[in-house]
Amino acid sequence: MILVTGATGQLGTAVVRQLLARTSAAQIAVLARDPGRAAGLEQQGVSVRPGEYADPGSLARAMKGVDRVLLIASSEFQQRVQQHQNVIDAARAAGVELFGFTSRSLRDMAAPGNPAMRDYAETEARIGASGLPAVIFRNALYLDTLPVSLGGPAVFSTGIRVPAGPGAVAYALRRELGEATANAMLGPPGGDRTYVLAAPRASTFDDVARALSEISGSPVAYTPVSDGDFVVHAIGQGIPEPMARYLVGFFADVRDHQLDETSTDLQELLGRAPASLKDGLAELFTPPGRG
Ligand SMILES: NC(=O)c1ccc[n+]([C@@H]2O[C@H](COP(=O)([O-])OP(=O)(O)OC[C@H]3O[C@@H](n4cnc5c(N)ncnc54)[C@H](OP(=O)(O)O)[C@@H]3O)[C@@H](O)[C@H]2O)c1
């Protein structure tokens, strides 16, 4: 049986959807800190196990009868290394045959511009030290983050104004990352492996602007701006100031070429080419007049 943590979140939902398509619900368990949010999965026959990363006892209970664990990285940035350690320890005590972790694809994991990214290298090191048979998924930046970071549908009138310079990102759609991760977690156990789940080609913001122009039929321009101008512009578009300042860290990583590593691993695990930049953006953005 495979236990998926974070299954009430967006990536976890995509993972479980693919597991359900490929294996029996009786082989799937999910960890949920609010089991009510997983009621739909329970109705489909999935075993819902109450649990919280910060509560080792709940993790030990959740791992009963489990032989594989997928740890979806915690969204609680301040505490997440210890939270991840708790899940690693519980999986080790349960003697699982395969441990998966959703990490991040960064060219230099030890020195990201965005301090929140350091937790991924630390967690990978702790998994290595645990001796668990492990598969690491170094996920690209979600393409799904663009509607927020570009200021929503207003981008079609304002254009793209972000502090990314000529930097590029090998974006991936969250739903395809979930699908690929589920496929890998169902593979044969043993043999540690690190996948870089990213597009086969990195896209600049000029590429994003061109794709949005084609989707909308009207020109969308990319204007590189300074960090300060971005914060002012983002707040003007309704992005809360703390989020705008947090996004500055992401764009610093884009400028520094931290997020442009390409790979064919996503294609390998999907068994097909991932969605193109234009097709992915068309899923995420509704051009004016078509809502
Ligand atoms: N690659 C990228 O571009 C990117 C972007 C953003 C985030 N991430 C990382 O990838 C992770 C998954 O992404 P996502 O989009 O699925 O995020 P999400 O929708 O926020 O889902 C996070 C999941 O983790 C669970 N969780 C958080 N803290 C927990 C705790 N203390 N104990 C137990 N469960 C906990 C949440 O439970 P609840 O449903 O109860 O809240 C939720 O199920 C994020 O947590 C973040 O670390 C990656």
Q: The CATH number of the domain where 12 resides is what? A: 3.40.50.720
The answer to whether residue 176 is domain-embedded is: yes
Q: What pLDDT was estimated at residue 288?
A: 81
Q: Which of 99, 186, 174, 185 is nearest to 140 (CA)?
A: 174
Q: Is the pLDDT of residue 190 over 80?
A: no
- Of 67-81, 100-114, 128-142, least confident by mean pLDDT is 100-114
Average model confidence (pLDDT) across the chain:
95
Q: Is the pLDDT of residue 113 over 90?
A: no
What percent of the chain is predicted at pLDDT more than 70?
99
Confidence band, pLDDT 50/70/90 cuts, at residue 4: very high
The answer to whether residue 249 is domain-embedded is: no
Q: 241-255 vs 227-236: helix axis angle to the nearest 10?
A: 140
pTM of this structure = 0.96
| Distance from C-alpha of 110 to C-alpha of 142, rounded to nearest angstrom | 21
Question: Coil, strand or helix: which one is 86?
Answer: helix
Q: What is the DSSP letter of 142?
A: B
Q: What pLDDT was estimated at residue 239?
A: 87
- Of 107-121, 163-177, 194-208, 254-268, least confident by mean pLDDT is 107-121
The answer to whether residue 270 is domain-embedded is: no
The answer to whether residue 149 is domain-embedded is: no
- CB of 10 within 6 A of ligand 1: the answer is yes
- CB of 116 within 6 A of ligand 1: the answer is no
Please count the structural domains in the chain: 1
From 5, 52, 72, 103, the mutation candidate for ligand 1 (largest count of ligand atoms within 8 A of CB) is 72
Q: Is the pLDDT of residue 289 over 90?
A: no
pLDDT (average), residues 226-233: 95
pLDDT in tens, 99-112: 999 999 999 988 87
Q: SS3 breakdown of the chain: % helix, strand, coil, rounded to 5?
A: 50, 15, 35
> What tokens appear for 34 in the block?
């609010």
The answer to whether residue 263 is domain-embedded is: no
Q: What pLDDT was estimated at residue 291?
A: 62
The answer to whether residue 163 is domain-embedded is: no
For the chain, the distance separating the N- and C-terminal CA atoms, rounded to the nearest angstrom, is 42
**What is the domain extent for residue 71?**
2-142+172-197
CA atoms in the 13 A half-sphere facing the CB of 239: 26
- The rounded Å distance from CA 64 to ligand 1 centre is 23
pLDDT in tens, 7-55: 999 999 999 999 999 999 999 999 999 999 999 999 999 999 999 999 9
The residue type found at 290 is R
- The rounded Å distance from CA 219 to ligand 1 centre is 35
Q: What is the CA radius of gyration of the chain?
A: 19
CA 189, 89, 184: angle at the middle one, nearest 5? 25
Q: Whose CA is nearest to atom 1 of ligand 1?
A: 141
The answer to whether residue 179 is domain-embedded is: yes
The answer to whether residue 122 is domain-embedded is: yes
Q: What pLDDT was estimated at residue 189?
A: 78
